[in-house]
């Protein structure tokens, strides 16, 4: 088993999502001691896509410039980590009712037509099939699955679009109101996760 462990919280060691992703990975490793783990901290910076990225990655010139080669290599590295993974464990702290900008940038980097998805006569087809994703959803005041939660539904859809349909959430929400209750709900969900 290959595990891709992704964090994106800006709060460092105080981050509940970072604590939860570490616990999820530890649970998976305990059940699968030979599992390998690749760690990616998106808080270190994920370039946003722009016109230069489009010209380098999407248009794929025959002779890319040195700068274009760098953009291609960065996007390829993010995508290869996902392609190589059996399980993705992703920290999902909610900022302003949605996912972090770094996590959105990462999704933009890996959503590559012809590589992670393709268009067919029957509609789009995800090419990252056979993978499992577990999100550690944490929020101070945005209830998981509520009308205010603009992250979980989007991520379930987006990963499904890429072919990852086995998507689970371990949610610690309402932390600003009753931290202990929110953490207890998350740990209960964690205990129910199949390792």
Residue list, annotated binding site for FMN: 15-17, 138-141
123-126 and 117-120 strand pairing: antiparallel
d(CA 148, CA 176) in angstroms, rounded, equals 15
Backbone angles phi, psi at 90, to 5 degrees: -125, 125
Alpha-carbon span 8 to 40, nearest angstrom:
9
Tell me how crowded residue 69 is: count the other CB atoms within 10 A of its CB: 12
State how far the Cα of 3 lies from the Cα of 163, in Å rounded to an integer: 17
Residues making up the annotated binding site are 15-17, 138-141
Structure tokens at 157: 């859809």
Segments in the chain forming alpha helices (H): 16-31, 51-53, 66-84, 101-110, 152-161, 179-192
Query: Helices 16-31 and 179-192, interaxial angle, to 10°?
Result: 20
Give every strand in the sheet of 36-41, ordered side by side: 36-41, 2-7, 87-93, 132-138, 166-172
């Amino acid at each position: 088993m290959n595990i891709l462990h992704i964090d994106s919280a800006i709060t460092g060691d105080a981050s509940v999502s970072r604590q939860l992703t570490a616990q999820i990975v530890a649970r998976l490793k305990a059940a699968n001691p030979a599992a390998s783990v690749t760690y990616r901290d998106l808080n270190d910076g994920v370039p946003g896509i722009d016109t230069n990225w489009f010209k380098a990655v999407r248009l794929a010139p025959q002779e890319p410039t040195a700068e274009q080669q760098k953009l291609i290599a960065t996007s390829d590295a993010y995508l290869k980590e996902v392609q190589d993974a059996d399980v993705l464990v992703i920290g999902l702290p909610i900022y302003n009712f949605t996912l972090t900008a770094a996590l959105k940038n990462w999704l933009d980097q890996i959503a590559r037509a012809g590589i992670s998805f393709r268009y067919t006569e029957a509609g789009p087809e995800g090419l990252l099939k056979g993978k499992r994703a577990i999100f550690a959803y944490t929020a101070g005041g945005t209830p998981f699955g509520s009308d205010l939660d603009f992250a979980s539904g989007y991520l379930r859809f987006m990963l499904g679009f890429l072919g990852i349909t086995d998507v689970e959430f371990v949610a610690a929400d309402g932390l600003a109101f009753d931290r202990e209750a929110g953490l207890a709900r998350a740990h209960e969900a964690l205990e129910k996760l199949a390792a």
